[in-house]
Structure 1
Amino acid sequence: MKVLRTTAGKVSVACVVMATGAVLTGCGNGGGASGGTTVIGVAAPLSGEAAVFGGPVDSITRAVVNHVNKRGGINGTTLEVVSEDEKFNAEDGVRAVTKLINKDDAQFIVGPTSSTFMATLSQAERSEVAIASPYSGIVEYDDQANPYTFRTIGPDTFDGLAVAKNIWDNGIKTLSILYENSDSARSTSSWLEDYYTKLGGKVVAKVAFNGGQSSYLPEVRSAFEPQPDMVFLAGSVEPAVPIVREWARSGLPGKWAFIAELTFPVLLDEVGAQYLEGAYGQSAVAADSPSVAGMRDVLVEEYGVEQGAAIAQQPTAAMAYDAIVSGLLAMAAGGEATGTAIAENLHNVTESGGTPVFSLDEGLDLLARDETIDYHGASGPVNFNSTNTAVPDYGIYQVVDGKWQVVKRYTGTEINDLAEELQ
């Protein structure tokens, strides 16, 4: 039997199971009981350079939760958002998740980056709290996943493959890789090298750097010295900006491709878009789906037209939206705002066989009539596999007329099939 946990400070009497098996009712408002309040936690990087990813998660979570509350909540349960700064490191992230679970009695937590996500997988299952990440592509997740954890981004293998496929298709025969000594950058770079060489390309230089250096010019020169057709840069914004600035000032010829973390306007604004005309980037991209409009509508409702549209265009927006909406639809399908309802119903609301739905409202309306649904998201079909990973569609971006524009799309299915072919 699932016993709903009480919320500290809200309930003074514990639920009791009688010897006959009957349960005393009226024993509290916490932990997802109808008529009470359930906490939806945000544990995301809300400060520092990674806030460009975590900030939209917080904004979108609040917009979606407020929208659901206006509809009456989940089975009469009001939702409350509590946010903690994960600070893009495991120590602070684990502390944030633990606080949300133990002190705030959160039933659903969204937003951890890779190190925090991996460090809290067993905690999620043990506490029966659902935890979702919209950007943790760490490959090792598949070996440790459990029913209480899920992600709406593919593994780093797919990021590397999307880059490799695009640059090979564009005639790039030689490549240098310039990467930061961080888990994400190393992982994506390694998979890019693996797939690119399998496709027929040649990596002529692989150069590492550490964040916080006073100058990156030696590393930049080492990457461009073999005169590759293109240099792929993997790292965070903080070192990437001076790296590209030093390249531009040095007058070195060459072309750039960038990791997903750098495929957004801040790099162009800080460096100067004129230096990066024609450069490639890639990121999970919102599919051509009515769900994109539904996401934008919820954000505009909460933040107004200008700010809502701006949030919807952020790199992590579609995956964050789909993670939150999938979790809340699973709660609604289970009839209670709990982590267990998510674990038991996540696949039920996203797998084929139900009525296709393209908005939160549409899904909630059908579930209220006890109908089965198949949620199609802003990032793609949202088909969770056996390890609760929903691979989004991928977009190839290019700087055209000073702005990032999508010039090619690969569906999650295409990337998955190509990965299997190249194994």
Structure 2
Amino acid sequence: MRNVLKLTTLALLAGTMASPALAQDADCEIKIGVVMELTGPAGQYGQAGAKSVEMAFRDINEAGGAAGCDLTMDVRDSQSQGNVAVDQATQLVNVENVPVIIGGIISSVSIPILTSVTASAGVVQVSPASSSPTLTAMARDGKTNGYFFRTITSDALQGTAAAKYAIDQGLKKLAIIHVNNDFGVNMVNEFRTSFEALGGEITSETAYNERQPSYSAEVTAGMEGEPEALYLVSYPTDGSTIARAWISQGGPAKFLLNDGMNSSEFIEAVGAQYLNDAYGTSSGTVETESTEYFYANYGEISGGIEPSAPAADRSYDAGAIVGLAIAKAGSAESEAIRDAIREVLDPAGEPIYAGQEQFEKALALIEEGKPIKYEGVIGPVSFDEYGDITGPFRLWRIQEGEVTTVGEISAEEVSEIKGGL
């Protein structure tokens, strides 16, 4: 089947995301909006995420389509800015009449889309990587109308996992420099509570505004109190500028990093020789057949982006869940898709994995009225009443320029730590 990408972003991205090999006729098309950070500080995440959604839709289309139709993407660049994201999402909903928006990647993009566009319009929104606890609070307060889902764990849990990992690695006296947005503030708040309860000391806490040419003032402030290491909550572009300034101004070359800093761009910009004592946490995965399929086949479509890129794996799952939900709903109506999202993750259903053959199986079962349980690239997932998932956290470090997984902390262990605070 035919996979049509309607990109309104940079010509380069439009060229790299096209899928000319998929050029068969289709009876109908269902257009899905994709608002991702293709440029700006989070551009690396959004480019990986958009490719993953493209791959998921390709696989479903080649399996027969969703509700008898091909899934197509109308991809918009948020430029990593909330106001731009709102403008793009508004066009997608009001002009293109999309029933679903996949995105954004970062919370400071997803939250404005949700509050200004999708929740009030009754349009499903699935974020692959927005981890702010604010999103849970909004759902709890009835502000999402049940239309928001995310395929990443909340920072309310990741902050605790990071605190435990820091203590275990002997990083007990930390300075913190963090991006001054909803993601950065919430991550640090959760981290601080757990880190201090576990016996750690925070020598300073400095917020920074994005896209500055220099962060020497923030680094100078961060060095007060003689910290042993820096907890840097950032994105690759700004984060590398801050890390270089930290090292050049005499800061210890020991770092604790958030999930988005698991990035070759960051490592290359800072210099691998300075990051051999850099540790980080990410939302983890439970390996399934989907994981194996994704890592083996992502390169066919990614244009050189690695399958380990932040947000890549969970973006495929976001696309797959949306596509299967449309098939289950049997229509492109937002409310029906919203209700079907949990149904394609039915614990009593037949396990379904990623890829064309598995999606053919899923579509046949749906046609027969039988339940399915999609088990994704990040593992078996289910959404709670707030659209959140739970799962393990990956513990990693950088050595000789390579990111290696060194362990895992379970959701149960994190909850136990939080329960004892």
Same fold (TM over 0.5): yes
Report the residue type matching 2:343 in the other structure. N
1:62 pairs with 54, 59, 63, which one? 54
The normalised TM-score by structure 2 is 0.84
State whether structure 2 residue 260 is matched by structure 1 residue 261.
yes
**In the alignment, what sits opposite 1:141?**
135
> C-alpha displacement at 1:330, in angstroms?
1.5
Selected match of 2:317 from 317, 322, 342: 322
Deviation at 1:212, TM superposition (A): 4.2
Q: Would the aligned equivalents of 1:108 and 1:338 in 2 still touch at CA under 8 Å?
A: no
| Paired residue type of 1:102 | N
Q: Are the equivalent residues in 1 in contact too, given 2:41–2:238 (CA < 8 A)?
A: no
CA distance in 2, matches of 1:219, 1:116: 24
Answer yes or no: is 1:132 the counterpart of 2:126: yes
Given that 2:177 and 2:230 are in contact with CA atoms closer than 8 Å, whether structure 1 keeps it comes out as yes
Q: State the distance in 1 between where 2:170 and 2:298 align.
A: 40
Residue 141 of structure 1, CA deviation: 1.5
The Cα shift of 1:175 comes to 1.8
Change (3 A) 1:218 1:268: same
* Cα deviation, residue 316, structure 1: 0.3
Matches within 5 A, 1:390-405: 390-405=389-404
Return the structure number with greater relative CO, CA threshold 8 A, min gap 6: 2
1:129-175 CA-partner distances (Å, limit 9, x unpaired):
21111121222222333322111112222221121010112233322
Give aligned pairs, total: 385
The secondary structure found in structure 1 opposite 2:342 is coil
Q: Give 3-state SS (helix, strand or coil) of 1:346's partner.
A: helix
Please tell me the residue identity of whatever aligns with 1:115.
S
Runs of 4+ in 1 over 6 A off after TM superposition: none
| Residue 84 (structure 2) pairs with residue 92 (structure 1) | yes
Structure 2 equivalent of residue 383 of structure 1: 382
Alpha carbons 2:178, 2:184 under 8 Å: kept = yes
Q: 2:333 aligns with which of 335, 338, 352?
A: 338
Question: For 2:313 and 2:114, how far apart are their aligned partners in 1?
Answer: 23
What's the counterpart of residue 166 of structure 2? 167
Residues 305-345 of structure 1: CA deviation (Å, up to 9, x unaligned)? xx47x342211012211111111112222222432232111
Deviation at 1:388, TM superposition (A): 0.9
Superimposed CA distance per residue, residues 29-59 of structure 1 (whole angstroms, 9 cap, x where no aligned partner) = xxxxx94321011111112221111112211
Asked if the contact 1:379–1:393 (Cα under 8 Å) also holds between the matched residues in 2, the reply is no
Uncovered stretches (5+) of structure 1, i.e. residues with no partner: 1-33
**In 1, Cα distance between the equivalents of 2:28 and 2:154?**
37
- Say which is worse superposed, 231-240 or 407-416, in terms of deviation: 407-416
* TM-score of the pair, normalised by structure 1: 0.84
Equivalence for 1:16 = none
Task: Judge conservation of contact 2:173–2:201 (CA < 8 Å) in 1.
Answer: yes
Distance 1:416-1:383 versus aligned 2 partners, 3 A rule: farther
| CA–CA distance in structure 2, aligned partners of residues 118 and 174 of structure 1 | 33
Q: State the shift of 1:301 in Å.
A: 4.8
1:349 aligns with 2:344: yes
CA distance in 1, matches of 2:381, 2:219: 39
Distance 1:256 1:207 in 2: 15
Give the conservation status (yes or no) of the 8 Å contact 1:277–1:399: yes
The equivalent residue for 2:22 is none
Kindly state the Cα deviation for residue 196 of structure 1 after the two structures are TM-superposed.
Answer: 0.7
CA contact (8 A) 1:285 1:318 kept: no
Residues 115, 209 of structure 1: CA spacing in aligned structure 2 closer, same or farther, 3 A cutoff?
A: closer
Q: Alpha-carbon deviation of 1:117? A: 2.5
In structure 2, distance between residues paired with 1:213 and 1:49: 11
C-alpha contact 1:114 1:138 (8 A) present in aligned 2: yes
**What CA distance in whole angstroms lies between the structure 1 residues aligned with 2:251 and 2:416?**
38
- Rounded Cα–Cα distance in structure 1 between residues aligned with 2:111 and 2:209: 23
C-alpha deviation, 1:245, in angstroms: 1.6
Q: How does 1:12-91 map to 2 (within 5 A)?
A: 35-91=27-83
Counterpart code for 2:337: I
| Separation (CA, whole Å) in 2 of partners of 1:261 and 1:241 | 12
Give the distance between the partners of 1:356 and 1:411, measured in 2 at CA: 23
Which whole-Å CA distance do the structure 1 matches of 2:199 and 2:118 have between them? Answer: 42
Distance 2:42 2:386 in 1: 26
Cα distance between partner residues in 2 of 1:217 and 1:302: 40
Contact preservation (8 Å) 2:179, 2:207: yes
SS in 2 for 1:110: strand
- Secondary structure of 1:232's aligned partner: strand
Q: Is the 8 A contact 2:119 2:144 kept in 1?
A: no
Choose 103-112 or 251-260, whichever is displaced more. Answer: 251-260
Question: 2:5 — aligned with what?
Answer: none
Matched position secondary structure for 1:388? coil
Displacement of 1:208 in angstroms is: 2.8
Q: Is the 8 A contact 2:178 2:232 kept in 1?
A: yes
What is the rounded CA distance, in whole Å, between the counterparts of 1:336 and 1:301 in structure 2?
30
Cα drift, residue 254 of structure 1:
4.5
CA 218–100 in structure 1, closer or farther in 2 if over 3 Å, else same: closer
Contact 1:204/1:226 (8 A) holds in 2: yes
* CA drift at 1:258: 1.2
Residue by residue over 1:278-310, the C-alpha shift from the partner in whole angstroms, topping out at 9 and shown as x without a partner, is: 21122223332221123235534545xxx47x3
Question: More deviation in 403-412 or 215-224?
Answer: 215-224
Query: In structure 1, how many angstroms separate the alpha carbons of the residues matched to 2:352 and 2:212?
Result: 49
Query: How far off is 1:242 after superposition?
Result: 2.3
Retained in 1: the 8 A contact 2:53–2:318?
no
Q: What SS does the corresponding residue of 2:240 show, helix, strand or coil? A: helix
Match in the other structure for 2:112: 119
Displacement after TM superposition at 1:397 (Å): 1.3
- The equivalent of 1:313 in structure 2 is 308
Contact 1:322 1:382 in 2 (8 A): no
- Which letter maps to 2:99? Q
Q: CA deviation at 1:392?
A: 4.1
Residues 1:211 and 1:116: Cα distance change in structure 2 (over 3 Å): closer
Report the AA paired with residue 354 of structure 2. S
